[in-house]
Structure 1
Amino acid sequence: MSGWVPLCLRRAARCWSLPGGGFSVQPAGSCRGVHLDVSPAKSIADESVCIRAAGLSPHQDVTLRALVLTEQDRLFDSSAQYRADSQGRVDVSRSPSLGGHYRGVVPMGLLWTLSPASMEEPYQKLTKFDLMGSPTLIDLCVHSGHADFSIFPGRILAKQRIERWYSKPGVRRIRLREGNVRGSLFLPPGDGPFPGVIDLFGDEGGLTEFRASLLACRGFAALALPYFRFEDLPMTMKDFRLEYFEEAVNFLQKYPKVKGPGIGVVGSSKGADLALSMVTFIPQVVASVCISGCNANTIADLHYKGTKLSSLCYDVDQIIVLESGILDVSETLKNPNTDSIIPVEKAEGHILFVVGEDDKIWNSKHFAEEAIKRLKEHGKDNYELLSYPGTGHRIEPPCSPFCSAMIDRLFGIPVQLGGEAIKHCSAQQDSWQKIQDFLRLHLC
């Protein structure tokens, strides 16, 4: 079934699938003392949890399943098949999954592989919009046998609901309309001062806040900064002016709870080449994290105080339609030319490049290596590179499940992102901590 299925049928399917609905539900712990323990039951979304089942028969086959019903009434799920040990226990940090959405020992596999359920439109991203007021609720269940959920889910032996929060007590969110700057400022608990970071995303536009909120949970004053398709900002990306981003830097630098004097930037995709331009041209930016970016200016010309970087051109004739109907755009970005390359050798701040070696949007590893080559040629050593095999384009905090493809805003068709689920999510977990360490090193 797909997205056109009538709402009544979609809800009926959810009732049958979700814990608490349908004929297969058993109260937690009521089936011969089977118990599911997920700890902590309440956690920040970037934290790991421990999942254990006990009270099973020795070597009993079971299926663990996770389900999320989103704020938009969309169902996401994942499952993995396990065999209990001789004492009737399953510990996902030690026990290998034998099938399902992943195989092997993957402690966070159930959360990492959450994807649209069979009755939902595919290629959607699990997104949380109400970051401050409510958690993402995840129901975890133990089903008897190695269940095939497309046929019959198997009896539920035990279940537990957990809460995953994008905020924590004391974190403040302040909506901004300061001069030309728009966005949301997230402040950690306490009086500060806190290291200041600007957070930029890619060509989806609008205001994306979840990473800034998580950074505030980790002690940073984080400004989620939109730059088009938001309020009175331009609706399309054309003729970027770096003065807008400089104004945001100056605002954050002067904010009473921001430590300063240097400001950090985290940027993804198009946001990454903006982050690279900011550390190159704006001296107050002393730390720049460029995730899945390019060493040249992309999409639209960039202007700053009489300097112009031309836009790197795309060759739409190089778009490939795969047999699945997904678009492969990995060969559409032409090699950077002199007019578009960011003169990164001018940067006095430090740069962290984070790339996936299976990026299918563009060759971000090659672009990072070209930027590093340019830095080396000018005697610079103010850079680090994190390069992850089996990892695609959209590298986010570890709360973000893997997406192999996403519906493109312009094409309305799924576009390939690249990566392998477990390798990609492992890279997200590893890079998230190293990004924080990098920012603390250069901002504190």
Structure 2
Amino acid sequence: MLARADRFDAHPPVPNGTGVLLVAGSSGRIEVDRAGLLAAQGARVRAMRWFGGDGQRPAPHEVPVELFAEQLDELRQECDRVVVFGTSFGAEAALLTATVSPVDGVIAVAPTSVVWAGAHEGAWSSHWTLAGEPVPFTPFDPDWVPDADPPAYRELYASSLIRFAEQASAARIAVERIEGEVLLIVGDDDQVWPSDVFAQEIVAARRSAGLVTTVIAHPDAGHRLLLPGEEPASGGMRMARGGSAASDAELGERAWPEILRVIGSN
């Protein structure tokens, strides 16, 4: 059960029949403004907090996938179609949830192709659980040391994939199981993790299963996306994210028509 304080529901003036579950990344925020932006285009939107809230896990560590699936079930009761829209860790959640819960579409901003480790009080485990069990995850390279300030974690993720290749293979998100369409939005200058490489892996896995994946990319954009009318986000963990407000907004302009198409607004 998701507490009322941990969700924001945006209702469109003229519904188009699509419900959108909006999932933020490691900021832990409820994406209120983005929910309103999508609702203005006809979608019924639920933006949610998925850790740090009432009765929730305190960190992105062993968060139940069922938390997201339950919200999709609630949206299905109101809507003809459901789409899950996630960013960063939220994109990881969106893609993973869509492998076990039917959706009409996934919009994944700065996605990953594998499940990653999370920590709480010094204990490392998966970001997610399913049926009460940790989902297989990719550990982090313990020998990696940042060489910049603020740190760019892209190389940590890249080196971890190499060092723990067997675990990464077991932690691959089975995107070929996703029944709906998949839209990936990527900045090639992402300095948080190599989302451009992850996107290529997702496309390849789905292509092998005869499935088409749409990718919208920008060579100079970073980890964060700015949709038309949005302002640059502040706060969050101190790190290099790549891109710039201008290039992130250009990526948003490129992606916006595809986002509208997936949510049934054009």
**In which range does the TM-score fall when normalised by the shorter chain?**
0.7 to 0.9
Answer yes or no: is 1:290 the counterpart of 2:120.
no
**One-letter identity of the residue aligned with 1:234:** R
Instruction: For residue 254 of structure 2, give the secondary structure of its aligned residue in structure 1.
Output: helix
Change (3 A) 1:320 1:408: farther
**One-letter identity of the residue aligned with 1:342:** I
Give the CA deviation at 1:293: 1.2
Instruction: For residue 216 of structure 2, give the secondary structure of its aligned residue in structure 1.
Output: strand
Q: Deviations over 1:55-85 (max 9, x none)?
A: xxxxxxxxxxxxxxxxxxxxxxxxxxxxxxx
Give the CA deviation at 1:292: 0.2
Change (3 A) 1:439 1:402: same
Counterpart selection for 1:314 from 132, 140, 143: 140
Distance 1:408 1:182 in 2: 18
Answer yes or no: is 1:342 the counterpart of 2:176.
no
* Contact 2:62/2:134, CA 8 A, preserved across alignment: no
The equivalent of 2:3 in structure 1 is 177
Distance 1:206 1:214 in 2: 16
| Coordinate RMSD, CA, aligned | 2.4
Give the CA deviation at 1:274: 0.9
Larger Cα-atom Rg: 1
**One-letter identity of the residue aligned with 2:87:** S
* Contact 1:294/1:368, CA 8 A, preserved across alignment: yes
The equivalent of 1:186 in structure 2 is 10
Counterpart selection for 2:58 from 235, 242, 252: 235
In the alignment, structure 1 segments of 5+ residues that lack a partner are 1-175
**One-letter identity of the residue aligned with 1:397:** L
Map 1:249-398 to 2 at 5 A. Answer: 249-255=72-78, 259-260=79-80, 262-283=81-102, 285-300=103-118, 301=126, 302-305=128-131, 308-315=134-141, 317-322=143-148, 325-333=149-157, 334-335=160-161, 337-381=168-212, 383-398=213-228
Give the CA deviation at 1:307: 7.0
Distance 1:380 1:393 in 2: 26
Q: What is the TM-score of this pair, normalised by structure 2? A: 0.85
Give the CA deviation at 1:226: 1.1
Give the CA deviation at 1:193: 5.9
Distance 1:216 1:407 in 2: 25
The equivalent of 2:246 in structure 1 is 422
Answer yes or no: is 1:207 the counterpart of 2:26.
no
Change (3 A) 1:193 1:359: closer
In the alignment, structure 2 segments of 5+ residues that lack a partner are 119-125
Instruction: For residue 440 of structure 1, give the secondary structure of its aligned residue in structure 2.
Output: coil
Q: Deviations over 1:252-275 (max 9, x none)?
A: 1113xxx31x31011000000111
Map 1:217-232 to 2 at 5 A. Answer: 217-232=40-55
More helix by percentage? 2
**One-letter identity of the residue aligned with 1:217:** A
Give the CA deviation at 1:306: 7.1
The equivalent of 2:122 in structure 1 is none
How many residues get paired? Answer: 250
More strand by percentage? 1
RCO comparison, higher one (Cα < 8 Å, 6+): 2
Map 1:116-155 to 2 at 5 A. Answer: none
